[in-house]
Amino acid sequence: SAVISQKPSRDICQRGTSLTIQCQVDSQVTMMFWYRQQPGQSLTLIATANQGSEATYESGFVIDKFPISRPNLTFSTLTVSNMSPEDSSIYLCSVEKVPGGAYEQYFGPGTRLTVT
């Protein structure tokens, strides 16, 4: 398994500002992912972050709005830039593990962001 922590757990921000969310894993992992869960909605993949390469963004998400860093195999950050109320969501990071060849993806507790 994997133990994932996120900081902050929640925040209230003003529109036009930026927030950086940190994700820390208790073991080295190759692939990390960032998801968004809008109020009352399901999870949507924002981007995939591999150490040593640029993040890969899904359709509808761009690097200028959601820059991602992946400096090592246990840590990643997601920045939500120039925020608007529409960015109010829960942001979750996840990691992929393949124990014994059996694929699993583990999620952090999430960061609840409210933009006013």
Residue 42 within binding range of other proteins, rule CB under 8 A: yes
CB of 106 to other proteins, least distance (A): 7
CB of 56 to other proteins, least distance (A): 9
Q: Is 26 left (phi over 0), alpha (psi -120 to 50) or beta?
A: alpha
Q: How far apart are CA 5 and CA 27, in angstroms?
A: 12
Instruction: Looking at residues 5 to 34 of the shown chain, list those that interact with other proteins (rule: CB under 8 A).
Output: 31, 33
Q: How far apart are CA 61 and CA 45, in angstroms?
A: 9
CB 15 within 8 A of CB 84: yes
Which window, 11-19, 41-49, 62-70, 81-89, contacts other proteins (CB under 8 A)? 41-49
Total residues contacting other proteins (rule CB under 8 A)? 22
Residue 73 within binding range of other proteins, rule CB under 8 A: no
Q: What residues contact residue 42 under an 8 Å CB cut-off, 6+ apart?
A: none
Which window, 19-27, 67-75, 76-84, 97-105, contacts other proteins (CB under 8 A)? 97-105
Q: How far apart are CA 95 and CA 87, in angstroms?
A: 23
What is the contact surface with other proteins in residues (CB under 8 A)?
A: 4, 31, 33, 41-45, 48, 58, 92, 94, 96, 102-110
